[in-house]
Structure formats: structure tokens, C-alpha cells
Amino acid sequence: MRKFLVTFHKVVSDDTGHDHRVVQQRAVVRAHSDVSALYEAKALFCRHMGIIDWRLRADTCDVAEIVDMAA
């Protein structure tokens, strides 16, 4: 299995009206694909936050594969 870093962001506006992406949570998950990693991370995020839908606390999520440089 491969390792992925999934990052959840919330978009918030500052006092000048500019939008900023604020990190809500990061999770490292093992999965066969990036799609599987997203499903797993979303479930973990919901469990951790005590919510039923990850979109209640985040607007976007990004996935990136973690490459083992030692291999």
C-alpha cells in the first residue's frame, strides 16, 4: 500500500475581504489509490470532529502521495 497526506482546508475571509485557505486537519493514510485515501481520510476527519459530513468543517481537501526516498 502507498501512503498519502490528505489536507482539509476551510476558506475564510479576512477583514479586507481576501479569502485564505486555513488548514483544519492533516491525515496520513495508507491506501491503494488517491481516491481510496480520500475516502479513508474523510471518514477519519468526520470521526475526529464528531460530524456526519466533512463539508461541515472544511471546504476543500487535497491529497498528495508520500514518496519514500529511502526505497
Number of H-type helices and E-type strands within the chain: 1, 3
Whether pLDDT at 71 is above 90 = no
d(CA 66, CA 42): 18
pLDDT of residue 35: 96
Whether pLDDT at 7 is above 90 = yes
pLDDT of residue 70: 74
Beta bridge partners of 60: 9
Give the fold, CATH level 3, of 2-66.
Ubiquitin-like (UB roll) (3.10.20)
* Span 19-37, average pLDDT: 96
Indicate whether this model's pTM tops 0.85: yes
Cell 459530513 belongs to: 53
